[in-house]
Amino acid sequence: MVFIGGNKRVKNTRGVYPLLKGMSSHKLPTTTSAAENSDLIVYVNGKLVQRNDASISVWDHGLLYGDGVFEGIRAYNGVVFKLKEHVDRLYESAHYIRLKIPMSKEQMSEAVLETLRENKLQNAYIRLLVTRGVGDLGLNPMNCSNPSIVIITEPTNSGEDPISKPVGVSAIISSIRRDPVDATSHEVKSLNYLNSILARWEAIDAGVNDAIMLDTQGFVSEATAENIFIVAKGQLATPSIDSAILHGVTRQRVIEIAEDLGYVISERRITPFELINAEEVFMTGTLAEIVPILKVNGRNIGPGKVGPVTARIFGEFTKIRTKTNEGTPIYSNQGKSGEIRAPLQEKSLTKI
């Protein structure tokens, strides 16, 4: 007999910062509530099932050991932003942990698109997971025969525009260090986020929105779920990959945007001193997009308000994120502006 615990359900706040008393808060993009999403369809191992019927085994090593990889992806106005890059990263993570995904990249991408179509979504957050699969209670990964593949899609709301609204977040520098690249490297987007969760608890206890984590050498690494950028003397810098960071898809696009706008940008090691004394600091991530950090360890960043570089980059990001050349259209009859001209009829996956 297996006992399933009965903890009280709480509202889904994945990637969303708590609104804390007495603090101005950046309103981040959010997914809708479980009640609103009760009719959504979920992809589970080749089948499209109702949300309430979506499940995997309690003997799945993704649950028992966090043995698996995932991606968080956004769709804007009918275009899945950087789908190819996210799927490539998923397979790179899986390759590193010796997890063979039993689908080609093309098949995986089509499964994502078909799940979105089934839910009739144009603006969505997508969670794509691949676990080691069902095994026994032992650690041996060889006892897991078939990986489990899950695709969850939910409608999402856009965040507030920092160009026109006085928004931003506060952070601390966490005492929890990022795992080094020769250990459980955060270059792998794995199902084990305990390192980030411990740092996020420190942020909660300190009454701030997020925690900035250092690497084992004491240099700035990243936030609990986002990459970090600083602006100093009009130039941008972001921690290099030897600082134990995730190779962020949004991070890379922001680097390209900054270069296109004529900014000097470097990928290098950044000290906590440089972080706190920067003119501007902002975070980047798939769900978060671009989030200004206005205070770190109780000290204002620059004048304590959204800076012009952050605002300009965010403005450019909002212009490009819905373009078809920045991602993959969900619907084959979709125009350049994202409108759907007629409903699609074909379905390629099994629905139960």
Contacts of 300 by beta carbon, 8 Å cutoff, 6+ apart: 294
Residue ranges of alpha helices (H) inside the chain are 61-65, 83-96, 105-118, 194-206, 249-260, 272-276, 308-320
Length of the chain in terms of residues written = 352
240, β-bridge pairs: none
Distance between CA atoms of residues 64 and 330, nearest Å: 34
Q: What is the pLDDT of residue 337?
A: 43
pLDDT at residue 338 is higher than 70:
no
State pLDDT tens for residues 287-328. 999 999 999 999 999 999 999 999 999 999 999 999 999 999
Tokens representing 152 are: 């969850």
Q: What is the arithmetic mean of pLDDT over 128-150? A: 96
Strand partners, 41: 50
Q: What is the CA radius of gyration of the chain?
A: 20
- The active-site residue, picked from 105, 189, 323, 347, is 189
Amino acid letter, residue 255: I
Q: Is 336 annotated as catalytic?
A: no
pLDDT tens, position by position, 240-273: 999 999 999 999 999 999 999 999 999 999 999 9
Distance of alpha carbon 3 from alpha carbon 302, whole angstroms: 53
Q: What is the pLDDT of residue 352?
A: 56
225 vs 200: CA distance, rounded Å: 9
**Predicted pLDDT of residue 349:** 56
Prediction pTM value: 0.85
According to DSSP, the β-strands at 280-285 and 299-300 are unpaired
pLDDT of 35 > 90? The answer is: no
Distance CA 132, CA 68 (A): 6
Mean pLDDT of the chain: 87
Which residues lie below 8 Å from residue 297, measured CB to CB, with a gap of 6+?
Answer: 171, 172, 173, 276
Rounded CA gap, 216 and 224, in Å? 15
- Map tokens 């600091």 to a residue: 281
B/e letters for 152-177, b = 16+ CB within 10 Å, e = fewer, are: bbbbbeebeebeeeebbbbbbbbebb
Strand partners, 226: none
Q: Which residue has the tokens 């078909």?
A: 114
DSSP state of 60: B
What domains can you pick out in the chain, each with its CATH number? Answer: 41-158 (3.30.470.10), 169-324 (3.20.10.10)
Separation between Cα atoms, residue 5 and residue 7, nearest integer Å: 6
Per-residue pLDDT, 26: 41
**Two structure tokens written together for 277:** 């004394």
Per-residue pLDDT band at 340 (split at 50, 70, 90): very low
Closest CA to 100 of 148, 147, 144: 147
Cα dihedral sign, 157-163-166-167: positive
Which amino acid is residue 201, in one-letter code? W
Across 29-41, b (16+ Cβ under 10 Å) vs e yields bbbeeeeebeebb
Q: Would you say residue 163 has pLDDT above 60?
A: no
* pLDDT exceeds cutoff 70 at 16: no
